[in-house]
Amino acid sequence: MPGPLTEDELTAEVVARLETTPDPRLREITQAAVRHLHAFACEVGLTEREWLAGIGFLTAVGRMCDDKRQEFILLSDTLGLSSLVDIVAHGADEHATESTILGPFYVAGAPWRELGDTVAESDDGAPTLVTGSVRSLDGSPLGGAVLDVWQTASNGLYAVQDDAQPDGNLRGRFRADGDGRYAFRTVRPVSYSVPDDGPVGQLLRACGRHPWRAAHIHAIVSAEGHRSVTTHIFDRDNAYLESDTVFGVKDSLIQDFVPQADGSYLVQHDFVLRPVG
């Protein structure tokens, strides 16, 4: 008579049943997920009560998701998974602009604006001019490159979170000139708390962590024949650079916000894209 089913035998049986998955990539991912999930449960000696608590937590995360809020992305961000996927997917090239996480509040279809225009349709923050160039790895300018930029308002909220803001506030798309130069006006970004009124916030508090992000401007930069990059511009004077709650800060993305005589700020930041292939 065979003995009781062991942990390793159960894992092997589940993995074996997935062997018939027609799509080879799906087969690879699901089998690896099973192996790692089973190993995790064994490593921590997961109890039934804890398993049910985990199911309840993930259910609550799902219930917080809608067309304006993605609690699962927020969970991924705060666990460092989003940053890990970014590193795995894009690697590193010391000569190209580093990528970082997209975040849960990107909205496609930002309004097109002219170079030098402001994205601040409604905000009384410190005026800031952001300027620079977009070029390829070999230094050649990428004329016509597109910058899709967005950030929070001075109250720490994105327009999609705040009914008092116009839909396009602090969002915009710009097309670089023939020499790859770009410029836009905004307000100096502020530190803000990620949404912590849901299950992800409860988890942060339970782990003794804060919910604050280092002040930044988001950008997706693209050009024909080149890989687009999703990235940030961080404020060097910000207090949360070392403890950004979503692990998104990279040294190469930190810039000086230089005070000007009129009380505004100037930021100079170049974007370098890698050719396709």
Distance CA 139, CA 273 (A): 10
Whole-number Å distance between alpha carbons of 111 and 103? 19
Please write the tens of the pLDDT for every residue from 142-160: 999 999 999 999 999 999 8
Integer Cα distance of 140 and 101 in angstroms:
27
Helix or strand holding residue 78 (H, E): helix 71-78
- The count of other CB atoms within 10 Å of the CB of residue 168 is 17
Token code pair at residue 116: 């030098």
Beta bridge partners of 226: 275
- The side-by-side arrangement of strands in the sheet containing 216-222 is 171-175, 146-150, 216-222, 229-235, 254-255
Q: List the pLDDT tens digit at each of the 277 positions of the chain.
A: 677 899 999 999 999 999 999 999 999 999 999 999 999 999 999 999 999 999 999 999 999 998 878 899 999 999 999 999 999 988 767 789 999 998 878 999 999 999 999 999 988 899 999 999 999 999 999 999 999 999 999 999 999 889 999 999 999 999 999 999 999 999 999 999 999 999 999 999 999 999 999 999 999 999 999 999 999 999 999 999 999 999 999 999 999 999 999 999 999 999 999 999 7
**Closest C-alpha to 126, from 12, 272, 258, 274:** 258
Structure tokens at 219: 């950008």
Instruction: List the beta bridge partners of residue 50.
Output: none
Q: What is the pLDDT of residue 104?
A: 78
Phi/psi for 12 (5° steps) reads -65, -40
Structure confidence at residue 156 (pLDDT): 95
Q: Is 137 left (phi over 0), alpha (psi -120 to 50) or beta?
A: alpha
Q: Please name the residue that has the structure tokens 């998974």.
A: 81
Contact 253, 232 (CB under 8 A): yes
DSSP 8-class letter at 14: H
How confident is the model at residue 1, as a pLDDT? 60
Measure the CA–CA gap between 32 and 26, rounded to whole angstroms.
10
What is the reported pLDDT for 94?
A: 74
